[in-house]
Amino acid sequence: MASAKTLQFGPLAIPLAQTFMMSKHSFGLVNLKPIRPGHVLVVARRQVARFNELSPEEVSDLFVHGQQVSKAVEKLFNADALTMCIQDGTAAGQTVKHVHLHIIPRIAGDFANNDEIYSVLEGTGTVPQQTHIDNEQREPRSAHEMAAEAVMLRREIGGWEEALSQFM
């Protein structure tokens, strides 16, 4: 269960130090095992497994803040483009039963076939050589690494402290 110093993401208690955005209905967190540098998540605050369980207000909040986060990620990670997706249900590759939006910075040529990224998200594909991380080698990052990335994103997005005090 989440405490005053964590937020709940499915069964996981996420330390606030690993979060970078907070709104009434969503929050942003850095990824433990990113597919690409800068791969982050925007998560619905209310814990529901499926997208269709969100209220219209929650859907709007998730996507408005997803757009805000995407601008910061694209800038900070020098991305040419982004892959943004929701894996909605087990058959779609969802592993954490809590609605979340993946935001993955992309650069030209990072995957030989752009759609390969989806098999990597599902855990069945291999990350291309040029990323220097294949599926088996995607080791969890340290708490320190994730906190440092969260700080960088907070600075770019702004307003984190105000939002945190309002919603915690």
Is 95 labeled as ligand-binding? Answer: yes
- So which residues are the catalytic ones? 100
d(CA 26, CA 101) in angstroms, rounded, equals 10
H-helix segments, 14-131: 56-76, 116-122
Q: Which two tokens stand for residue 123?
A: 């855990």
CB 103 within 8 A of CB 35: no
Is 87 labeled as ligand-binding? Answer: yes
Is 102 labeled as ligand-binding? Answer: yes
Is 166 labeled as ligand-binding? Answer: no
Is 78 labeled as ligand-binding? Answer: no
Residue 132: burial class (beta carbons within 10 Å; 0-12, 13-18, 19+): exposed
Is 67 labeled as ligand-binding? Answer: no
Binding-site residues for substrate sit at 31, 87, 93-96, 102
Binding-site residues sit at 31, 87, 93-96, 102
